[in-house]
Amino acid sequence: MTATSLIFGKLSWALLPHNAIAAGGALFMVFCALAVLALITYFKRWKWLWTEWLTSLDPKRIGVMYIAVSGIMLVRGGIDAILMRTQQATSVGASHGILAASHFQEIFSAHGSIMIFFVAMGFMFGIINLVVPLQIGSRDVAFPFLNSVSFWLFASGAVLINLSLIIGDFSTAGWLAYPPLSELAYSPTVGVDYWIWSLQISGIGSLLSGLNFLVTIIRMRAPGMTPMRIPVFVWSVAGAMSLVIFAFPILTATLALLSLDRTLGMHFFTAGGGGNMMMYVNLIWAWGHPEVYILILPAFGIFSEIVPVFSGKKLAGYVSMVLSIWAIVFLSFLVWLHHFFTMGAEADVNAFFGIMTAVIAVPTGVKIFNWLFTMYRGRIRFTTPMLWFMGFVVLFTLGGVTGVMLAEPPADYQLHNSLFLVAHFHTMIVSGVLFGYFAGLTYWFPKIFGFRLDESLGRKAFWCWLFGFILAFGPLYLLGFMGATRRLDHYSAALGWQPLFIVAGIGVALIALGFAFQVAQLVRSVRRRHENRDVTGDPWDGRTLEWSVPSPAPAYNFAVQPKVDSLDAFWAAKQKGNRETTEYEDIRMPKNTSLGMFIAGFVFVTGFSIVWHIWWLAALGLLGAIASLFVRTFSEDTHAIIKANDVAWQDVSHAANARPV
């Protein structure tokens, strides 16, 4: 080992990107980052950013930062999608499209990893942070500092995965990096290591968040909020976080084992040495399948809040909604093998997993019908969140039906690894998860920022997403039936697939337009915030506790600890109409701290150093993280008091504006 490799590991200048598209992407990203830094400096916003946001332990602030990061990552993953669609629309016959085969492989690997780990997960934790403490009538989460650490680990993972665009390369082994392809013998560069460590770091953040919110829901609920008075969104989060707690440690272990194979020459999943690569596939899906439900359950919860409010009725079948959540939680651990029916397990095994998979459609169907029953004979307001719901309910049901088709092992033998599968899971994740989160963001936005999002641009965005989605993924179902496999960078002109691929490309362009409308919506809403201001704190005539406090919600959420004596507690209070006079008390809230950011920063350094085999720096990063943790654990002065007088003043001025009953 030479001195240079001791100090710099595998790093060298030669690893900067060479081909035009990769270099362009890297330069664009660096340019954007520098532009943002320059703007902050120009507007002298550093101090504000640091004290109000980066060091904040307020879950609402952390939630907004989660959503900001996941929005940026949505752009990154979306650009990947556009590149893939362009490649597949043009790379036919003699033409080989715009991307080299290996670059195409990097892009589909990055697209999947980014969209799941950094868009969907980030968006989900963002909304959970914004809403859960407010809905359960709590001033904070159970472990505010841990929450900050979780966020910064998530952000560190996001930076690491983007860094692969600039230095070195990214994995070409798909979003789940099946061995033996992902082993050192077949993927000798740092690509898979980037994949491992960005997922490992953000995954540990997710695990800690899962723990935090589960304990928050169990222990921090307002007095009187017995289990059957918990809002359905909170129930859905409790289900999802239970899944996080049982599933994410499996991911942590699996990634660690793959990393041991690659860095220390072990033989867990290698082709030689007695390794067993099907064990990897089992392990990764024992995490991966519950992961799908981790993402979709909160979306179900969001719709269960939105549909009653905009239908002017209480939710139909509350108890069956709660039970179906837990049925899904339970069943989601019994279906993982349907991801590899073709592995060659015996027929009985495939049959068991096929039946369990089809059975999941039952509790999901219960939910669909309950939402529809809630709308039935309701006084429906067709606001943007409601539009997202109606788009969801149509597309998600179709996607669910294709899922039941795939659940039949004989059919799966035909459809496995085809674009039919790709179309199926995008239907679940885009029109299920993403539409749900968009609806939730629109719905709760005024509670966080104090003004509503612009309706007319929101509608335009919705229609673009809806038709864009149908155009982008409808053709993929057909192509799948015609035999087009996934991850195809080139095909013969004689197959006649090109028109369908071009339609899919147009669909993606329409989705991009929808996203542009969402950006415009945000800009216009900020500009016209005074017209759209929510002075009542209850812009939608809501039913749950978060609407009882002013918008934007104060840092301490509730001036007086709310007491709950029914489901839809705020609705019941509005019906009663009397506002009791109350005594105000001093409120103790955690102070800001930058240590969460430092811990995650050191972990990032460690992750980066392991990717590049810079062992001294990895050790240093680890020491730094542990030292920061100790500093936090043994510091005493972590809380500040908000005086009762200030609380009272804010609360009384809100009461004067509250929606009249």
Partner 1 sequence: MTTLTNTLATRHEPFDAEARAADATAVSGFWVYLMTDLVLFASLFATYAVLHASTFGGPSGSDIFHMPLVLAETLILLTSSFTCGLAVVAARAGGARRTAAWLVATLVLGAAFVAIEVSEFASLVRLGDGPSRSAFLSSYFTLVGTHGLHVFIGLVWIVALIAVVLRKGLTRSVLRKLVLFSMFWHFLDLVWIFIFTVVYLMGVSIV
Which residues are at the interface with partner 1 (CB under 8 A)? Answer: 142-143, 207, 211-212, 214-215, 218-220, 245-246, 248-250, 252-254, 256-257, 260-261, 264-268, 270, 272-276, 279, 283, 588, 626, 630, 633-634, 636
Q: What is the CA radius of gyration of the chain?
A: 25
Shortest reach from residue 210's CB to partner 1, in Å: 8
At closest approach, how far in Å is the CB of 220 from partner 1? 8
Q: Which is nearer to partner 1, 348 or 636 (CB)?
A: 636
Decide whether 186 or 630 has the Cβ nearer to partner 1: 630
CB of 41 to partner 1, least distance (A): 40
Least separation in angstroms between residue 521's CB and partner 1 is 38
User: Which CB sits closer to partner 1, 9 or 275?
Assistant: 275
Nearer to partner 1, 279 or 351 (CB): 279
User: Which ranges constitute the DSSP H helices of 312-454?
Assistant: 318-331, 347-375, 384-407, 409-415, 419-426, 435-449
- Do 534 and 450 form a contact (C-beta atoms < 8 A)? yes
Tokens 């030479």 locate to: 2
Separation between Cα atoms, residue 351 and residue 353, nearest integer Å: 6
- The answer to whether residues 434 and 67 touch, using CB atoms and an 8 Å cutoff, is no
Q: How far is the CB of 446 from partner 1 (least distance, A)?
A: 30
State the minimum distance, in angstroms, from the CB of residue 267 to partner 1: 4
Measured from the CB atom, is 219 or 643 closer to partner 1?
Answer: 219
Give the separation between CA 206 and CA 128, rounded to whole angstroms: 12
Q: How far apart are CA 538 and CA 252, in angstroms?
A: 42
Which class for 326: exposed (0-12), middle (13-18), buried (19 or more C-beta within 10 A)?
middle
Question: CB under 8 Å to 416, separation ≥6 — which residues?
Answer: 341, 342
Stretch (H or E) spanning 195: helix 191-219
Round to whole Å and give the CA distance between 413 and 351. Answer: 13
In the complex, minimum distance from the CB of residue 650 to partner 1, in angstroms, rounded to a whole number: 21
What's at 301, amino acid-wise?
Answer: G
Distance (Å, whole) CA 507 – CA 466: 10
Q: How far apart are CA 307 and CA 316, in angstroms?
A: 10
CA distance 447 to 131: 9
CB–CB of 133/139 below 8 Å?
A: yes
The minimum distance between CB 146 and partner 1, in angstroms, equals: 8
Q: How far is residue 508 from each of residues 18, 103, 513, measured CA to CA in Å?
A: 27, 20, 9
- Nearest residue (CB) to partner 1, 245 versus 516: 245
Q: How far is the CB of 275 from partner 1 (least distance, A)?
A: 5
Quick one: 50 or 333, whose CB is closer to partner 1? 333
Q: C-alpha 204: how far from its chain's center?
A: 14
Give the shortest CB-268-to-partner 1 separation in angstroms. Answer: 6
CA 405 – CA 399 distance, rounded (Å) = 10
